[in-house]
Amino acid sequence: MKFGGTSVADAERLKRAAGRIVEKREAGNRVVAVLSARGHETDRLIADAYEVSPRPDPREMDMLLSTGERVSCALCAMAINDLGHRAISLTGSQAGIVTDTSHTKARILDVRADRIRAALDEDNIVLVAGFQGVSTAKDVTTLGRGGSDTTAVALAAAVQADVCEIYTDVAGVFSADPRLVPEARKLPVVLFDEMLEMAASGAGVLQLRSVEYARNHGVRIHCRSSFDDAPGTVVVSEEETVEQPLITAVTHSTGEARVTLTGVPDTPGIAGRVTTALADANVNVDMIIQNEPVTADARAEMSFTIPRDDVHTAQAALAPIADELGMSIETDEAMGKVSIVGAGMKSHPGVAAKVFTTLGENEINIEMISTSPIRISCVVPGARVPDAVRALHSAFDLSGEGTIKPEQPFGEFA
Ligand code: ADP
Ligand code: ASP
Ligand code: MG
């Protein structure tokens, strides 16, 4: 069972989470619960860091950020003890979560869950601080924003749990962020491939790595509300479902920045050097566009998108190459991205046409486009993201009873 920040935000909610954990235990289950930091605690800690330093040291940042989830776990253990059950709280390190050394976005390498197993054998409810681990260099690390989901999935795999329940502040995974689209539909099931694309394109309800980890280790994820008992969304593999909706969801992100390199020499190897420099700086590049030169000076242009938080890192990483080759770096930090995801689009023409036409009709300019077999993403001005999401959600009729089936024509695009 994993409880997110909103679900443990105050004493009342924390006690409610404790109550739900105890109920599960009393129903005869052995329970490992992963908790997030309370409310906006992680944001507050990040703000604290920037108050004392413009570029906080990543190792110290992790020491700081990891405290948020420890607080939640200790408090919850106290509440569970008061309900007459035995609970023990553990840090990520005590729980045996071993990561690589990339501070603030570490990857889990191994879970040595013997201490958890021993505690379960002694009839404890085990509470584990989410979002953190210990690196191979024995330093505290954190797993990137939303990382408690990945803690939960990794522990579920390690203890061979029946299910990894992600309790959150919405009733499951929806056809769009319900905060933006109130009529969005709760999806009873979603395919792993779709969930991966959704998480990668901004549906923050599950951290991308948690979905990857679950698929690789065969963990069953059930994402559901921490406020009621209704079933939420189960992430399933293709063999487990017959329903193959054409379009499953619209996702968005407003945390994108575009970096444009101008004056790129038209010689082989430049794209490799640029992307290697970014990779070495641990910056994830999303969309990339490179234009062949049309001008006489044989200089090209290359644009790509990266997380906005990484703009300064990217600039620093690219500066030496830009100086050497006479390129200039421009950044645009007010970009957003809207995507549609659906396994059914693989075999159905006209989806891209409908996306682009819908955005055009709403006078939303498309700055960049990228696709996968089951996703179409458009970079648009950040301020237009909500309009774009709503327009696409309604154009594809995603709030309807059931989603459009492939055999159903698409009006003029069929
Ligand atoms: P937690 O603190 O429980 O981890 P998060 O804030 O990380 O919660 O994730 C839940 C939030 O994800 C929801 O409040 C919702 O606004 C957002 N969200 C974005 N896209 C979706 C989606 N497609 N379905 C459900 N929630 C979504
Ligand atoms: N507390 C961390 C965050 O806010 C991790 C999480 O909640 O999953 O990103
Ligand atoms: Mg989350």
pLDDT by residue (tens digit) across 137-166?
A: 999 999 999 999 999 999 999 999 999 999
Task: Report the side by side order of strands in the sheet with 288-291.
Answer: 288-291, 299-307, 249-265, 328-341, 375-381, 368-372
At 217 the pLDDT is 97
Q: Extract the tokens encoding 232.
A: 């939420």
Range 158-181 average pLDDT: 97
Q: What share of the chain is helix, strand, coil (3-state, %, to 5)?
A: 40, 25, 35
| 113 close to 124: Cβ distance less than 8 angstroms | no
**pTM confidence score:** 0.91
54-63, 258-267, 358-367 — which is least confidently predicted?
Answer: 258-267
Range 51-65 average pLDDT: 97
- Which among 2, 34, 177 is the best mutation to test ligand 1's pocket, defined by most ligand atoms within 8 Å of the CB? 177
At 413 the pLDDT is 33
pLDDT by residue (tens digit) across 193-249?
A: 999 999 999 999 999 999 999 999 999 999 999 999 999 999 999 888 776 778 999
At 13 the pLDDT is 97
pLDDT by residue (tens digit) across 119-136?
A: 999 999 999 999 999 999
Ligand nearest the Cα atom of residue 35? 2
The C-alpha atoms of residue 180 and residue 374 are separated, in whole angstroms, by 22
Cβ of residue 124 lying under 6 Å from some atom of ligand 2:
no
Quick one: which atom of ligand 2 is closest to the CA of 5? 7
Ligand nearest the Cα atom of residue 152? 2
At 295 the pLDDT is 67
Using DSSP, how many helices (H) and how many strands (E) does the chain show?
Answer: 11, 18
Mean pLDDT of the chain: 93
Range 110-116 average pLDDT: 98
Range 339-359 average pLDDT: 94
The C-alpha atoms of residue 348 and residue 408 are separated, in whole angstroms, by 11
The C-alpha atoms of residue 368 and residue 380 are separated, in whole angstroms, by 7
Range 47-67 average pLDDT: 97
Question: What spacing in Å lies between the alpha carbon of 183 and ligand 2's midpoint?
Answer: 27
At 292 the pLDDT is 76
pLDDT band at 70 (very low <50, low <70, confident <90, very high): very high
Closest CA to 367 of 378, 358, 376, 359: 378
